Chain A
């Protein structure tokens, strides 16, 4: 039996999930960083206070690392809350700099209970190469070790706390770090971020440095440095097709228009390959799909999240193309070449939704920040009348995914109550979100939601 309280609970949790997926506490097109952080902080307190168990369980969802770190910090500060196993598993999925930042935050907040110390200890023990971490994240590791009262094995303790007490180290990377202080050749054995500092100290020219450090670059560093190294005639051999889809889309959108035209085959090939990889076995199974994709000016995002909403839309375009049997992508600006999209113009969502519904696809996906302004509210009206009058049986599934958190409403902006809206961070989550959107439609209750969360948590374990 569904009670009113259950409905509210279900709604609140979905609201929080949307926020935790989209918001990173950074500036967005319509709101400043401060507003985002304030709004997000309120939401965390509200959910934690009212639904402590569900709050911890959201860690199992595909929420972003920023929010996962916030949740973990909050859980650790209250003894006895949250599942330690789940926290540890979530930490394993986060990137090491994020985890070290979380440890720093715990230290700053004075959170130092036994569970926290055990968590730090276990996480560090699980690192594949702690000596490498000691070089790359030196001060962060030092702070974590100090906070958790750990005694590191072998040379590491000396390396962190009394680095020059030893004449030489047996671990190669530590020894390279020691020698890099006076030996130009040794610094190329270090990770790029550390070597960069030594290179500056030794006055090595940028071109020479990049050329010799190239084998040491990580996957993302290769992509990041591709353009600046390319000016010096160096190819960082970034493997575009292996990048996460949205990251690749961001890279493409950052290129000038004529470069995109020149490298069209390469870029489109990479985007298609990345999309096919994400689609996996589901490729071509979704029937006929239409998408309304937002490339209005607001999809520029903000200077700190440049073109993020547009990149998500572009990634969704290629992913849906791979998933669908028949696909039609409609951009708001009526441009037909997805590779040349750029954020400009108003948001006539209503008109484009009408265009998309014309062919009665099996599924309509709307990727937009929801600021429907030409005219305002038309999209909501079109969807409402469509559902009420023209398609009461719901033959056309409609999902709105929104990459932007609206700080004023504590949620992603919705187009219409008739159509589920879900926050989206990575295009990879799109299939899962279309699943999750069922809950937002109100047809499934809180029991199902809890079951879904438990299921996700189990899935996380298996991964």
Chain B
């Protein structure tokens, strides 16, 4: 589903436990650009190509003065066009002063992360009797998930600072401990240049945070077979082959987890020839799971991509929720698919941190049933 066609993989640059893989676009997409306000409140910040019609986009959680009165607000979910969905942001005094500086900035983390998850998970669609009143009325919010700002990921600030941006670079894949941590693609190199320093303010899953503490990533050094070289042209051919080999290896092995078909794609907004959609992974346990947002053009070419790597625990929770959602939030039906009983599933939900979704008396009943089964002689030994 995610197709990196049109984007060339270039050699990675490493720093500490992090490996940064640049993606270079052969032809930049000119008619989808960062919203002009992102460059500062003056629209003149964007140097537009001759055709002045372009579609604007705003990355998720981007803070700028979207409202008429100039107070800062954050984009809620990636937006196409004039941001219709935004949340006002109330800063402390100090923060407000910093916000005046007209620099690119993202929301404080928790707000952004929770918003992101609430966007993906609605809540029960049928008011089965087991669900608590709160779950019916408010869905899963407030959902609390842990995420880390880039500043907390060890070495990320230095890695981004010393990263040498390629001419024409439109994207970056970030690896921590050689697992894909985040992917970021924008339509135009200028947008990338503007957003590159903000990656350190972005949010990353706990896996990234932990893997960045691991052993340092090693460069894959180029190796040329000298027996195949008898002239300078051969040497040049070998050098070119090196680069092609790396790109092929990266796209087929290192980024394979991202490029696999996602479990669920939801089309959110369509503007001009561009489509904004959100995707959820298949929530397979013990494999890579990325949630994220994409903007595709009418040919299905990737214009914008931003992903967030889920940790194991988050994957487990996502697995439970997506199973429930697939069965219209019916506990017995979902339990049958998971080959367990409704009571077991109820307790699993509680352990995963969703206890508040179930009615208290129902949950108590499940607990009693479980106790009876473990203490009662009638239950078969497991």
Interface string of B220-255 (1 = CB under 8 A from A): 111110100111100110110011001000000000
Tell me if A36 counts as interface (CB < 8 A to partner B): no
Say yes or no for B167: interface residue by CB 8 A criterion: yes
Q: Does B13 contact A (CB under 8 A)?
A: yes
For residue A358, which residues in chain B have a CB less than 8 angstroms away from its CB? 232
A384 in contact with B226 given A296-B164, A375-B242 (CB within 8 Å):
yes
Q: Are A377 and B229 in contact (CB under 8 A)?
A: no
A130-138, A247-255, A268-276, A342-350: which lies at the interface:
A342-350
How far is the CB of B183 from the nearest CB of chain A, in Å? Answer: 20
Select one of B165, B166, B221, B235 contacting A382, CB under 8 A: B235
**Cβ contact within 8 Å between A388 and B11:** no
8 A Cβ contacts from A338-369 to B: 344-347, 350-351, 354, 357-358
Which residues of A pack against B, CB within 8 Å? Answer: 29-30, 296-298, 333, 344-347, 350-351, 354, 357-358, 373-378, 380-382, 384-386, 388-390
Instruction: Please name all residues of chain B whose beta carbon is closer than 8 Å to the beta carbon of A373 when the two chains form the complex.
Output: 11, 13, 164, 219
| A47 vs B22: C-alpha distance when bound (angstroms) | 42
In this complex, the member of A29, A375, A390 whose beta carbon has the largest number of chain B beta carbons within 10 angstroms is A375
Q: Answer whether residue B271 sits at the interface, using C-beta atoms and an 8 A cutoff.
A: no
The smallest beta-carbon distance between A275 and chain B, in angstroms, is 28
- Within the complex, what minimum Cβ distance (angstroms) separates A386 from chain B? 7
User: Closest 8 A-B residue pairs measured CB to CB?
Assistant: A377-B221, A375-B11, A376-B219, A378-B222, A297-B164, A346-B164, A381-B224, A377-B222
Q: Are B219 and A377 in contact (CB under 8 A)?
A: yes
Given A354-B235, A373-B11, A375-B246, A345 and B165 touching (CB < 8 A)? yes
Q: Are B229 and A389 within 8 A (Cβ)?
A: yes
The reply to whether B242 and A378 form a contact with Cβ atoms under 8 Å apart is yes
Selected contact of A351 from candidates B220, B232, B239, CB within 8 Å: B239
Determine whether B370 belongs to the interface, using a CB cutoff of 8 Å to chain A.
no
A382→B239 contact, CB < 8 A? yes
Instruction: List chain A residues, Cβ under 8 A from B223.
Output: 377, 381
B10 touches A (CB below 8 Å): yes
A376 CA to B14 CA, complexed, in Å: 10
Q: Say if the beta carbon of B162 comes within 8 Å of chain A.
A: yes
Task: List the A side residues contacting B231 at CB < 8 Å.
Answer: 390
Question: Which chain A positions have C-beta within 8 A of B232?
Answer: 354, 357-358, 390
Q: Which residues of A contact B242 (CB under 8 A)?
A: 375, 378
Is the pair B164, A385 in contact by a Cβ cutoff of 8 Å?
A: no
A38 to B174, CA, bound (A): 31
Question: Which of A29, A297, A376, A386 lies at the interface centre, i.e. has the most chain B CB atoms within 10 A of its CB?
Answer: A376
Inter-chain contact B162/A298, CB cutoff 8 Å? yes
Asked if A378 and B229 make an inter-chain contact with CB atoms under 8 angstroms apart, the answer reads no
Among B167, B221, B222, the most chain A Cβ lie within 10 Å of the Cβ of B222
B226 lies within 8 A of A376 (CB): no
A376 touches B239 (CB 8 A): no
Cα separation A148 to B54 with both chains bound (whole Å): 74
Whether B235 pairs with A344 at a CB distance below 8 angstroms is no
CA distance in complex: A409, B246 (Å): 27
> Contact: B221 with A30, CB < 8 Å?
no
Measured in the bound complex, the distance between the Cα atoms of B233 and A386 in whole Å is: 12
Return 26 A-B CB contacts under 8 Å, by A number: A297-B165, A333-B167, A344-B165, A344-B167, A345-B164, A345-B166, A346-B165, A347-B164, A354-B239, A373-B164, A373-B219, A374-B10, A375-B11, A375-B220, A375-B246, A376-B221, A377-B219, A377-B222, A377-B223, A381-B221, A382-B239, A385-B226, A385-B229, A389-B226, A390-B229, A390-B231
